[in-house]
């Protein structure tokens, strides 16, 4: 009876020793220890971190073009307002336009002297009927015996042109030296073509021709070499430079 029980016990223990399927268990190799530092895993889709000093745009993104700033608009200078001379005399007023395109430096000089009051109180000291009336000498302020030789203390260069000397034209008086004009000027009473190209004309009367005629008819006496000395003083109260559009 004991032998039967022993046999049954041995049969019950056999599956546990051999496995349920009857095969021998395989011994696995001992696991390899991991390396001290795990190597990084390569990933071709990974985007490298941006470098602040050299960041390249992604090729699949559009890059905005640098806008070129438009050049600043240049505003042309405003043209100088046209000016005229108002010559106020004891006989009335005359108004003259200027020819800066013909004699720019002469016009500039005449305007400066006028604005400085240089001509105020002078007189037309030389008058030749049918030819011209001459003024602009500071010595005429006191009827100096040397009148006709005065000036501003400097001389300007001639600016001769082909503009004709006709009635109403303003031109610069001078000595035999072409570049000796200063402040003295004359206004033609008629055509004086023999002066063309030899004296600097710089403007013309646009108003007051009747005043010009009145001054031109002033009685004169001989002054030694010509009959041109007025018997009465023809004073120039002032010469003002004003905007042309202010004259009506």
- Nearest-angstrom CA–CA distance, 196 and 199: 6
Per-residue pLDDT, 50: 44
Per the CB < 8 A criterion, the answer to whether 216 and 187 are in contact is: no
- DSSP string over 17-28: HH-TTSPPPPPP
Over residues 31-60, the mean pLDDT reads 42
Compare 173 and 76 and report the one with higher pLDDT.
173
Six-digit token pair at 37? 């530092």
Domain ranges of the chain: 83-142+154-246
Where residue 66 falls among pLDDT bands split at 50, 70, 90?
low
pLDDT in tens, 158-182: 999 999 999 999 999 999 999 999 9
> How large a percentage of the chain has pLDDT more than 70?
69
Q: Which long-range contacts (CB under 8 A, 24 or more apart) does 27-31 make?
A: none
The DSSP H or E segment spanning 141 is: none
The whole-chain average pLDDT of the chain stands at 81
Question: What does the DSSP 8-state code read for residue 164?
Answer: -
pLDDT in tens, 105-164: 999 999 999 999 999 999 999 999 999 999 999 999 998 999 999 999 999 999 999 999
Sole residue written with tokens 């009336």: 133
Least confident of 67-71, 144-148, 168-172, 237-241: 67-71
CATH number of 83-142+154-246: 2.40.100.10
- DSSP string over 55-114: PPPPTTS--PPPPPPPPPPPPPPPPPPPEEEEEEETTEEEEEEE-TTT-HHHHHHHHHHH
> What distance separates the 2 farthest-apart alpha carbons in the chain?
190
Per-residue pLDDT, 28: 36
Per-residue pLDDT, 224: 86
- Nearest-angstrom CA–CA distance, 45 and 61: 17
- Nearest-angstrom CA–CA distance, 247 and 87: 13
Per-residue pLDDT, 44: 40
Compare 109 and 59 and report the one with higher pLDDT.
109
- Residue 3 φ then ψ, to 5°: -65, -35
């Amino acid at each position: 009876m004991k032998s039967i029980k022993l046999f049954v016990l041995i049969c019950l223990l056999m599956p546990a020793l051999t496995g349920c399927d009857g095969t021998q268990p395989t011994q696995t190799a001992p696991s390899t220890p991991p390396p001290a530092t795990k190597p990084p895993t390569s990933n071709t889709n990974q985007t490298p971190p941006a470098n602040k000093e050299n960041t390249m745009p992604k090729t699949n993104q559009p890059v905005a073009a640098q806008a070129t700033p438009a050049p600043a608009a240049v505003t042309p200078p405003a043209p100088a307002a046209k000016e005229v001379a108002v010559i106020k005399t004891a006989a009335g007023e005359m108004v003259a336009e200027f020819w800066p395109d013909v004699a720019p430096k002469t016009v500039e000089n005449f305007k400066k002297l006028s604005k400085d009051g240089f001509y105020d109180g002078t007189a037309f000291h030389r008058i030749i009927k049918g030819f011209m009336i001459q003024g602009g000498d500071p010595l005429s302020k006191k009827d100096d015996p040397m009148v006709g030789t005065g000036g501003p203390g400097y001389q300007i260069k001639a600016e001769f042109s082909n503009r004709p000397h006709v009635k109403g034209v303003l031109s610069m008086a001078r000595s035999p030296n072409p570049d000796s004009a200063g402040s003295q000027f004359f206004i033609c009473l008629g055509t004086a073509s023999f002066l063309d190209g030899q004296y600097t004309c710089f403007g013309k009367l646009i108003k007051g021709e009747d005043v010009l005629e009145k001054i031109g008819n002033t009685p004169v006496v001989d002054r030694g070499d010509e009959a041109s000395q007025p018997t009465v003083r023809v004073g120039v109260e002032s010469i003002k430079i004003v905007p042309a559009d202010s004259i009506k």
